[in-house]
Chains A and B, each alone.
Chain A
Amino acid sequence: MRYTILLHYPELMAAGELDEAAIEQGQAAFHRYAADLSAAGVLISAEVLAPSSSTTTVTAIDDDFRIQDGPFADTKEQLGGTFVIDVADLDAALAWAKQAPSAQWGPTEVRPGATHWAGDSWV
């Protein structure tokens, strides 16, 4: 089954609250995590997002679109990255989610995929 692991955490780095050593440590942890997922043959894709201060939200209003500075929901924890994995079941997905470096700093969501685009159709 395909699951997307959604990492939510407070944006300490963007807020300038992390020193150089902590940032390097975090990057090394994310490198190890992705390498482990890849070595286990379960990784489909991995994406770490830029801070939510750089995001732009598009909302349909009447016949037009409103373009807004900032995230859709302004919360303390922001979506910071996604890992799409293919594993046997929820227990396997949860085991990987617990190993995500950010799981120590914020909630990690494990969501099954309903369908995904492959080639020229949804499967």
Chain B
Amino acid sequence: MKPVSDEVRAAADRAARTSYGRLLALLAAPTRDIPLAEDSLADAFEQALHTWAEHGIPNNPEAWLLTVARNRQRDVFKSAAHRTSTDLEEGSAVTDLDAIDPDAIPDKRLELLFACAHPAIAPEVRTPLMLHTVLGFEAAQIAEAFGVPAVTMAQRLVRAKKRIRTAGIPFTIPGRADMPSRLAFVLEAIYGAYTIDWESLSADPDPLESLAAESLYLAVTVAALLEIEPEAWALAALIALSSSRAPARYVDGVFVPFDAHDPARWDPALIVEGEAYLRRAHGLGMPRGRFQLEAAIQSVHCDRRRTGVTDRTALAALYRALVEVAPTAGARQALAAVEVAAGLRRE
């Protein structure tokens, strides 16, 4: 048998995680009970191992898993122990699930993302919760990425999941009025998944497995599901363009400062991908938000691969706009540095 390449394994992992996130979102949305949905889904996956080994893989594995998990969920709802702690609203949720055609499984991951990044969830747990529920990462893996003990992370996740149910945090896509502020939380949480791994990205022998790739996947998923939100496309562009430079960050294990990067090492496919997302964001023709400006800044940097020089005047203009929109200390410092480099300001 041919050894499975890392790429194939990553693709298989991704497919499994996509399925996991889609099914978990669907099972948890009507009841807001993520732990019950997780248990039901785990049971279904375990049953699949036995049944599929014996009878072969069904035509539509996701529909099979959904049906088994749904039955499991229903059994729990019927059980006396659960009946006393559940209300009519939750009881009717099982009926909602019955209405779903397993051959046309709707995508509720966006609703799950908005629940994970709800303002009523503590900001520091939003990114971990998202990685855990939407992408199926274990608490221990997330703990490692965030540099906290596994037990601590597990406790935070349990608390957050419990809170979604008891506080009544809905699995819904916000209306137009709330969308800008609520989407900002979702995008921030996804960007959080990218930034935690930034330092170790190039030291990672298999970037496909890194959280940078996962955060790009999430950003693209959100952008594609929402279709018309420029900031969502811009975040996808920002992550793709920033990630493109990963191969140049370390040469022979030695860190290379950004200005000394050899642009020939940058990943051209990610640059093309990022530019396409950025055009899409700009094409939606709204005032440029924070992520659009940050992505445009990365685009200017990436253009060094083509032209051999960095357009510092363009950078300065973009940073000035960024400081207007998001006046963070980091943006102000970057603006000052770029104006000095462009000769627009004395040191």
User: Chain A: residues with CB nearer than 8 A to chain B?
Assistant: 1, 3, 88-91, 93-94, 112
Known: A1-B89, A90-B120. A112 touches B167 (CB 8 A): yes
Residue B155 at the chain A interface, CB threshold 8 Å: no
What number of A-B contacts does a CB cutoff of 8 Å give? 24
Q: Is the CB of A112 within 8 A of B166?
A: yes
User: Chain B: residues with CB nearer than 8 A to chain A?
Assistant: 89, 118, 120, 166-170, 172, 174, 178
Residues of A with C-beta under 8 A to B166: 112
24 contacting pairs across A/B (C-beta < 8 A): A1-B89, A1-B168, A3-B168, A88-B170, A89-B168, A89-B169, A89-B170, A89-B172, A90-B118, A90-B120, A90-B167, A90-B168, A90-B169, A90-B170, A91-B169, A91-B170, A91-B172, A91-B174, A91-B178, A93-B168, A94-B120, A112-B166, A112-B167, A112-B168
Within the assembled complex, what's the spacing in Å between the Cα atoms of A1 and B170?
11
Within the assembled complex, what's the spacing in Å between the Cα atoms of A3 and B168?
9
CB distance from B117 to the nearest CB of A (A): 13
Residues of A with C-beta under 8 A to B170: 88-91
CB distance from A48 to the nearest CB of B (A): 25
Query: What's the dominant secondary structure at chain A's contact region?
Result: mixed
Residues of A with C-beta under 8 A to B167: 90, 112
CB distance from A31 to the nearest CB of B (A): 26
Within the assembled complex, what's the spacing in Å between the Cα atoms of A88 and B166?
13
Closest to A92 in B: B170
CB distance from B119 to the nearest CB of A (A): 8
CB distance from A96 to the nearest CB of B (A): 13
Within the assembled complex, what's the spacing in Å between the Cα atoms of A90 and B178?
14
Closest to A87 in B: B168
Closest to A111 in B: B167
Residues of A with C-beta under 8 A to B89: 1
Closest to A1 in B: B168
